Amino acid sequence: MATRLCRNCRAPLEEDQEICPACHTHNPIPKPWYVPIVGGAIVALIVYLLVDFGDVARVLGIE
User: In this predicted model, what pLDDT tens digit does every residue of 45-60 receive, in sequence order?
Assistant: 999 999 988 888 888 8
Residue 35 sits in the same domain as residue 63: yes
User: Does residue 42 sit in the same domain as residue 52?
Assistant: yes
- pTM, two decimal places: 0.56
Which pLDDT does position 2 carry in this prediction?
52
Domain identity same for 37 and 62:
yes
Q: Collapsing DSSP states into helix, strand and coil, what is residue 26?
A: strand
CA dihedral (34, 36, 40, 43) positive or negative: positive
Question: What total number of domains does the chain contain?
Answer: 2
| 41 and 22, same domain (yes or no) | no
| Whether residues 59 and 41 fall in one domain | yes
Cα 39 from Cα 49, distance rounded (Å): 16
Say if residue 36 is in the same domain as residue 63.
Answer: yes
In whole angstroms, what is the distance from residue 47 CA to residue 40 CA? 11
Residue numbers in the chain where pLDDT is lower than 70: 1-2, 63
Taking only Cα atoms into account, the Rg of the chain, rounded to an integer number of angstroms, comes to 22
- For 11, the domain range is 1-30
23 and 37 fall within a common domain: no
